């Protein structure tokens, strides 16, 4: 991301975020140190929220809604602290729309891939059952 920001803003130095974010700190090194901490926290938000899919007593719908809310509520303040968008209603709404659209898009892709995997597994099970035909010995009964 730092390389992307530096390229996008056409800077001569590697910046960890947009120039406005970097200007709030005493040096690019201090901004990079804070950015590193924020990126670690972002990773922790996603690691924790992915754990919600491990709760086997919840339905996939409940897991997905909890994951979406947890990751949104964790990511939003971190995105603000990272300076990814100005803090006003218009940008907050735009961020929310982009986040929701990306989340729904990725969820739809993941559900389609899971559906394909289930179909493939069911076909394999069907093929295995149909290829196993027990031979019944009339004198001795069914095989054990």
pLDDT tens digits in sequence order for the chain, 144 residues long: 777 777 887 877 777 777 778 888 888 888 888 989 999 999 999 999 999 999 999 998 899 999 999 999 999 999 999 888 888 999 999 999 999 999 999 999 999 999 999 999 998 888 877 666 555 555 665 555
Structural contact between residues 9 and 15, judged by C-beta atoms closer than 8 angstroms:
yes
CA dist 9 and 71 (Å) reads 28
Query: Going by C-beta distance under 8 Å and a sequence separation of 6 or more, which residues neighbour residue 2?
Result: 14, 15, 16, 17, 32, 35
Give residue 143's pLDDT: 56
CA dist 60 and 64 (Å) reads 6
Locate tokens 């899971």: which residue?
A: 114
In this structure, the number of other CB atoms found within 10 A of the CB of residue 117 comes to 10
Query: Going by C-beta distance under 8 Å and a sequence separation of 6 or more, which residues neighbour residue 3?
Result: 14
CA dist 45 and 81 (Å) reads 14
Q: What are phi and psi of 137, to 5 degrees?
A: -90, 115
Give residue 82's pLDDT: 87
Give residue 134's pLDDT: 59
pTM > 0.85: no
Q: How far is CA 120 from the centre of its chain?
A: 24
CA dist 104 and 130 (Å) reads 39
Give residue 68's pLDDT: 95
Please report, in angstroms and rounded to a whole number, the separation of the first and last CA atoms in the chain.
63
């Amino acid at each position: 991301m730092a390389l992307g920001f530096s390229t996008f803003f056409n800077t001569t130095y590697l910046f960890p975020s947009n120039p406005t974010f970097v200007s709030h700190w005493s040096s690019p090194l201090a901004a990079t140190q804070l950015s590193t901490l924020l990126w670690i926290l972002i990773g922790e938000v996603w690691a924790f929220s992915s754990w919600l899919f491990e709760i086997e007593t919840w339905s996939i719908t409940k897991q997905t809604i909890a994951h979406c809310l947890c990751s949104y509520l964790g990511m939003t303040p971190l995105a603000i602290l990272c300076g990814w968008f100005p803090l006003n209603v218009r940008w907050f709404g735009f961020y929310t729309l982009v986040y929701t659209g990306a989340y729904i898009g990725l969820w739809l892709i993941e559900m389609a891939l899971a559906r394909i995997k289930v179909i493939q597994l069911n076909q394999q099970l069907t093929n295995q059952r149909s290829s196993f035909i027990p031979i019944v010995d009339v004198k001795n009964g069914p095989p054990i």
